Chains A and B, each alone.
Chain A
């Protein structure tokens, strides 16, 4: 392990304490479903709930997928269970648009190299540097058409989605995507 990797891990260890039990990095609303396409508005939020960016777009398909990248934060050696998970909004795709052809979200919340969705917490400069490095790493891979869910680092993706005939996002209803610090994401109506 290089010294820069050790430094990054050391800073990410501190990140766990800045994460609440659950965060809501994005909310979304399906605006319409016409002609086999889904139009949706997605609002990206920082840790304090402030709006970072708004994306409005249409994708062909019937089931909307909102993909998150979950990066483990460990205080123990690699291979141990993560203490917390950092959540980065990754991309949007559908049942007809493959993930590789989906719309990447990283650019929308890039605030000078730092992931805007993680603003709103008292990060130290070292922690900010480590988070920016993790963000840059994911962006670089995604931009090169490679999976950002890097197996060697225990990173994985989690795409919450509707399931035709079982569960669908209703037009005009605001949904929130909840990310648990202990792992796992959930979609619920934003009441």
Chain B
């Protein structure tokens, strides 16, 4: 039944698109006029040729004036016949307009249903991230001669027992900054008034090295998704792993531009947040994404 309905819709959209193209687009109108002119020209040529042959058979002369007269008469005849079918043409125009209207209405319903489905999938995606989670573990190995040496560990939540990736940093300064893009979704359509906060840590800098000179973090997987947002199929609820991945990629893409995030109506605020702490040899701390909003630093043994 669904297949038949889809086939019917395909035919409806095809006819509507063809009618819209032929009667409203310059190229379509040009093609229509060209076809009509070609048809009329062919008809005139046929009539004039027939008359010439008939005149030849009768041994009469068929000059330029006779040809022009025959063509003119045929043109008048064509006009009269066209006038006769005007009600049918008007009926066809009304039918085509109705067809286009029905197709547009059906498309609007399709778009609405697709939009609702997308919102439901985005909601399910965000619901699966609706808790606080650890983004990075930082271990300060050495602070000497005005330089900080630290190891950052990134976790993949499909297997959070051990770091999926680590990255060593060596940077001038006394204080380490972990910078992130933060997106708050509360009061938005997909979050249904609940606070939901996503963050993408992307850079490390220090009190002496400005952000523009900082070190990029490599905590993304091969699809550009931050590792800590990865979820195993068993962990996900209300959404399949493939749809979760696709919608998560959409959310991440929307976080990369304020205009896109706001345009999609999915973000309340988008900004950077660089959390930092004095670097001391042997110190360990974790960067957490809080669902109340923002990111925080906690001692590694606090939880």
Contacts and interface: CB of A to CB of B under 8 A. Distances in A.
Interface size of A as a range? 35 or more
Interface stretch (A5-13, A48-56, A179-187): A179-187
A157 interface: yes
B292 A180 contact: yes
A161 interface: yes
B274 A159 contact: yes
A152 B278 CA distance: 9
B209 A98 contact: yes
A63 B210 CA distance: 11
A178 B173 contact: no
B208 A100 contact: yes
Interface residues of B, number: 47
8 contacts: A146-B278, A147-B276, A150-B278, A151-B279, A151-B283, A154-B299, A154-B302, A157-B175
Given A81-B303, A96-B210, A167-B258, A159 B271 contact: no
A98 B208 contact: yes
B13 interface: no
Given A99-B177, A99-B207, A183-B294, A188 B272 contact: no
A65 interface: yes
| From B177, B211, B290, B297, residue with most partner A Cβ within 10 Å | B211
A95 B177 CA distance: 13
A162 to B, nearest CB: 7
Given A149-B277, A166-B256, A184-B296, A95 B271 contact: no
A180 B197 CA distance: 13
B210 A151 contact: no
Contacts of A168: 258
Interface in A120-158: 146-147, 149-152, 154-158
Contacts of B274: 65, 158-159, 161
B273 A156 contact: no
Nearest to A69: B276
Given A162-B271, A166-B256, A168-B258, A80 B277 contact: no
Nearest to B210: A98
Given A96-B212, A166-B256, A178-B293, A149 B276 contact: yes
B294 A180 contact: yes
A29 to B, nearest CB: 15
